[in-house]
Amino acid sequence: MESDQNDHQHCGDDSDHKHCLEMFNRLSEYLDNELDDITCQEIEKHVEQCVPCFSCLQTLKQTVALCKEAANKPVPKEFSEKLKEMIQNIPKTTNP
Residues found near Zn ion in the complex (CB under 5 A): 20, 50, 53
Closest separation in Å from C-beta 54 to Zn ion: 8
Task: Report the residue number, 51 or 66, with the smaller CB distance to Zn ion.
Answer: 51
Cα-flanking dihedrals φ and ψ of residue 15, to 5°? -65, -10
Alpha carbon distance 56, 58 (integer Å): 5
Task: Report the residue number, 54 or 68, with the smaller CB distance to Zn ion.
Answer: 54
Alpha carbon distance 90, 79 (integer Å): 17
Closest separation in Å from C-beta 37 to Zn ion: 20
Closest separation in Å from C-beta 11 to Zn ion: 13
Burial of 48 (0-12, 13-18, 19+ CB in 10 A): exposed
Closest separation in Å from C-beta 35 to Zn ion: 16
Burial of 7 (0-12, 13-18, 19+ CB in 10 A): exposed
Task: Report the residue number, 10 or 73, with the smaller CB distance to Zn ion.
Answer: 10
Task: Report the residue number, 26 or 68, with the smaller CB distance to Zn ion.
Answer: 26
